[in-house]
Amino acid sequence: MTTTAVKTKSVLQVRGPGSNHWVGDGFPVRNMFPSNGIDAQVNPFLMLDYAGPKHFAPTKKHQGVDEHPHRGFETVTIAYQGAVEHRDSGGHSGVIFPGDVQWMTAASGVVHEEKHEREFAEKGGVFEMVQLWVNLPAAVKMSAPRYQAITKEQIPSVQLGKESYARVIAGELEGVKGPAKTFTPVNVFDVLAKAGERFELALPAGQNAAVVLLKGKVKLNGTTALEEDALIAVLSPDGDAVSVDVSEDATLLVLSGEPINEPVASYGPFVMNTREELVQAVEDYRNGKMGHLS
């Protein structure tokens, strides 16, 4: 019988947020990339905002982000605390509650708004979410938009230790597949890690990868300590696993994906391949071709 040796993905660098700012009046975010310059190393992922955790006082105001467009990529919203109401020009609407995920493929164009859910706003409370942007290959950037509302009950888990586990949102871990449909191979794991435990996470060789520490304290591969909230460790494409030692209960977002080796041209909410395509996106939005909210 032969066994295959596991090769560790090395940690290339660790970065904190590149910027701290508000998105609308409802989302105080720490941007984990691209503002800190690591975007090429996490391709096909384009952006990651960590919103909160922040306590909001009770209000009747509908806080959040008003109508705005997207084209050429996907937005993935993961809720930890609080709740968000969504509606878009494709006729989709709903609430993202803690544990839920919204995977919206903007593709050829979507207009949407994101607001604090009304009951949460009126009661007040702690708000904490992540929004991740995933690039689309040129061949499907102008395809029809798609909307996936994924409830916490639909997300399977993989036990990593006695109490540590990973929720498999997209991709596959130890034979368990996530519910999200993707256009290119990506893994998105939401990991809840308990202090005192140690485990290994399998990640495909050849894929760009990163471990995002939202909160807690861990050590990667026995050497790289992540001991402040909101840190991202970029991993090498080579290797097929990363080990995690947990010194304080931690929440991690683990990402890996097959790079999309195409030009990237971006302007605000549009991510295409050329400047000309960006100009067309702006024109199409202004002419109402991405729709509007009533």
Residue 7 placed within a domain: no
Residue 188 placed within a domain: yes
Residue 143 placed within a domain: yes
The answer to whether residues 121 and 44 belong to one domain is yes
Distances (CA, A) of 20 to 33, 54, 230, 279: 11, 13, 11, 28
Q: Are strands 165-170 and 157-159 parallel, antiparallel or unpaired?
A: antiparallel
Query: What CA–CA distance (Å, rounded) separates 212 from 221?
Result: 15
Residue 284 placed within a domain: no
pLDDT of residue 104: 97
Residue 270 placed within a domain: no
Query: What CA–CA distance (Å, rounded) separates 175 from 192?
Result: 19
Query: What CA–CA distance (Å, rounded) separates 216 from 228?
Result: 7
The answer to whether residues 138 and 222 belong to one domain is no
pLDDT of residue 27: 97
Whichever domain contains 29, its CATH number is 2.60.120.10
Long-range (24+ apart) CB contacts under 8 A made by 19-25 are 23/49, 23/51, 23/65, 24/63, 24/64, 24/65, 24/66, 24/114, 25/61, 25/63, 25/64
The answer to whether residues 139 and 209 belong to one domain is no
Domain that holds residue 236: 155-262
The answer to whether residues 131 and 195 belong to one domain is no
The answer to whether residues 51 and 113 belong to one domain is yes
Query: What CA–CA distance (Å, rounded) separates 228 from 250?
Result: 11
Domain total in the chain: 2
The answer to whether residues 69 and 175 belong to one domain is no
Residue 4 placed within a domain: no
Q: Are strands 270-272 and 208-220 parallel, antiparallel or unpaired?
A: unpaired
The answer to whether residues 57 and 117 belong to one domain is yes
The answer to whether residues 97 and 185 belong to one domain is no
The answer to whether residues 33 and 145 belong to one domain is yes
Residue 8 placed within a domain: no
C-alpha Rg value of the chain to the nearest Å: 19
The answer to whether residues 175 and 51 belong to one domain is no
The answer to whether residues 75 and 108 belong to one domain is yes
Distances (CA, A) of 264 to 45, 104, 137, 143, 255: 12, 20, 10, 17, 20
pLDDT of residue 5: 63
pLDDT of residue 294: 72
The answer to whether residues 143 and 179 belong to one domain is no
Identify whether the C-beta of residue 9 lies closer than 8 Å to the C-beta of residue 203: yes
Identify whether the C-beta of residue 21 lies closer than 8 Å to the C-beta of residue 15: no
Which strands sit side by side in the sheet containing 45-56, from one edge to the other?
19-23, 27-33, 45-56, 125-135, 73-81, 101-105, 146-150
| pLDDT tens for the chain, residues 1 to 294 | 444 567 999 999 999 999 999 999 999 999 999 999 999 999 999 999 999 999 999 999 999 999 999 999 999 999 999 999 999 998 999 999 999 999 999 999 999 999 999 999 999 999 999 999 999 999 999 999 999 999 999 999 999 999 999 999 999 999 999 999 999 999 999 999 999 999 999 999 999 999 999 999 999 999 999 999 999 999 999 999 999 999 999 999 999 999 999 999 999 999 999 999 999 999 999 999 999 887
Residue 125 placed within a domain: yes
